[in-house]
Amino acid sequence: MYKCKICGNELNIIMSFGKMPIANGFISSISDDEFLYDLILCFCPNCFMVQLGETVKPQMMFNDNYHFISSTSKVMAEHFEDMAKEIIDHVSDKKSPFVVEIGCNDGIMLKHIAAQKIKQIGIEPSKNVAQLAKEKGINVIEEFFNLNTAEKIIRDYGKADVICGANVFCHIEDLNSLFAGINLLLKDNGILFFEDPYLLDIIEKTSFDQIYDEHVYYFSGLSISELARRHNMQLADMAHQDVHGGSMRYYIKKDGLGAITDRAKECLSQEKAFGLQKIESYLDFKDKVDRICQDLKTTLAKIKQESNRIAGYGATSKSTTLLNYAQIGPDIIDYISDITPTKINKYTPGTHIPIRSHEFFTADNPPYTLLFAWNHKEEILKKEKEYRKRGGKFITYFPQVSIE
């Protein structure tokens, strides 16, 4: 029996994916012992938070071997530049504004704040990416954010006008401690905003590969309102973002600072109309997941018979859930092309598909390529124009399997 990590209520199980390796745990040799855990998606009927039943210690996921570097995508770089502009607009009338980003990664967003000479601090526990942020002139505290970190920042720098985070909050298991720290660190008229993959997109598109160890939570406006309320804060606004297959940016203020916006009200009513507040609405999710996996395996088996060669594109954390749950291994996918230097020549967690460089992929010119990085599809199709001209085809699988 699993308990809600926010309110302590008993959780309902949406679906179990069985034993899974760490999604970002690319291995150097196949003999490596791999840590496995039960990947179980749950729903709290009391506070509406969708979350993992079993979680993995953060130190096992976000360490010096953390392979996710934000700045490798041009679309994401532009997205974060826009986010920085929003922050700069927000603090433009302040005397000496102070911005704190939780999980600043390689500084993809905060470098724009630093360039404006605005006081900033990034919190980043993964030393290798923190180093990249420091090289961009960003002040970095290399630890996990909690109440102690908040106290230390207030002591050394004062309270913050803006606290933000992108694709980080859903990773943090102890959200109550995070929000307590934020409430302490934020000025009374300050604003918190953060964005993460959006539950309604995941459920509607059945994009189940978003579900893996690092994503402890799958937020909606309904669950975030409840969480904020528990910490004397309120959901003030929501803005949908097209990145990562559909994300939501949530704006939180301290209690008593005005009404919720119309667009946020609209989002909340859409969530209610879909039924994100009831377990019944999630019960056909497993059937949909199984159907996509079956269709994909049938398609791949047919192609494999005909052409004998299929590559993968983008050794993403997301691909770990898909490959392990659908049991797609090196007998079907010959290798996966990736541009992250630390992943090349390693193997995918659990399924042990070799990872090769993009140069290898281009020289090999496989007839079919399974696109794991589907959230960057437009950018990738543009980049791989030549490959497609030569007859190369991409296979995608959300919301259904297709070849183009």
CA distance 15 to 287: 10
Binding of Zn ion by 327 (CB under 5 A): no
Q: At what angle do helices 221-230 and 175-185 cross, to 10 degrees?
A: 60
CB of 270 to Zn ion, least distance (A): 21
Binding of Zn ion by 185 (CB under 5 A): no
Is 47 or 108 the residue whose CB approaches Zn ion more closely? Answer: 47
Binding of Zn ion by 44 (CB under 5 A): yes
Q: Which of 16, 35, 36, 46 binds Zn ion (CB under 5 A)?
A: 46
CB of 100 to Zn ion, least distance (A): 27
Binding of Zn ion by 175 (CB under 5 A): no
Is 7 or 147 the residue whose CB approaches Zn ion more closely? Answer: 7
Which residues from 103-162 bind Zn ion, rule CB under 5 A? none
Q: Which of 23, 42, 47, 191 binds Zn ion (CB under 5 A)?
A: 47
CB of 176 to Zn ion, least distance (A): 11
The label of the residue with tokens 């607009």 reads 89
Contact segment (CB under 5 A) with Zn ion among 47-55, 280-288, 303-311, 337-345 equals 47-55
Binding of Zn ion by 7 (CB under 5 A): yes
Which two structure tokens, joined as six digits, stand for 282? 């999630």
Contact segment (CB under 5 A) with Zn ion among 4-12, 104-112, 231-239, 241-249 equals 4-12
Please classify residue 13 by burial: count the beta carbons closer than 10 Å to its beta carbon, then call 0-12 exposed, 13-18 middle and 19+ buried. middle
Q: What residue ranges in 307-366 does DSSP mark as E strands?
A: 310-313, 335-338, 355-357
Between the two ends of the chain, the Cα-to-Cα distance in Å is 44
Binding of Zn ion by 328 (CB under 5 A): no
Is 51 or 207 the residue whose CB approaches Zn ion more closely? Answer: 51
Q: Give the three-class secondary structure for 36.
A: strand
- Residues in contact with Zn ion, counted by CB under 5 A, come to a total of 7
CB of 305 to Zn ion, least distance (A): 48
Angstrom CA distances, 59 to 54, 126, 171, stand at 15, 9, 12
CB of 250 to Zn ion, least distance (A): 17
CA distance 297 to 321: 14
Backbone angles phi, psi at 37, to 5 degrees: -140, 165
CB contact at 8 A, 235 and 252: yes
Contact segment (CB under 5 A) with Zn ion among 6-14, 217-225, 288-296, 303-311 equals 6-14
- Which residues have CB under 8 Å from 272's CB, separation 6+? 222
CB of 204 to Zn ion, least distance (A): 22
CB contact at 8 A, 310 and 300: yes
Contact segment (CB under 5 A) with Zn ion among 46-54, 242-250, 314-322, 373-381 equals 46-54
CB of 30 to Zn ion, least distance (A): 40
C-beta neighbour count of 45 within 10 angstroms: 13
Binding of Zn ion by 191 (CB under 5 A): no
CB of 278 to Zn ion, least distance (A): 14
CB contact at 8 A, 315 and 343: yes
Which two structure tokens, joined as six digits, stand for 202? 């995941």
Binding of Zn ion by 4 (CB under 5 A): yes
Binding of Zn ion by 9 (CB under 5 A): yes
Q: What residue type is 350 in one-letter code? A: G
CB of 146 to Zn ion, least distance (A): 20
Q: Point out which residues pair with 122 in neighbouring strands.
A: 101, 140
Is 4 or 186 the residue whose CB approaches Zn ion more closely? Answer: 4
Binding of Zn ion by 6 (CB under 5 A): yes
List, as one string, the DSSP characters of 56-74: --HHHHSSTT----GGG-H
CB of 4 to Zn ion, least distance (A): 3
CB contact at 8 A, 360 and 334: no
Contact segment (CB under 5 A) with Zn ion among 36-44, 234-242, 346-354, 386-394 equals 36-44
CA distance 220 to 201: 10
Binding of Zn ion by 277 (CB under 5 A): no
Which helix (H) or strand (E) segment holds residue 119: the answer is strand 119-123
Q: Which residues bind Zn ion (CB under 5 A)?
A: 4, 6-7, 9, 44, 46-47
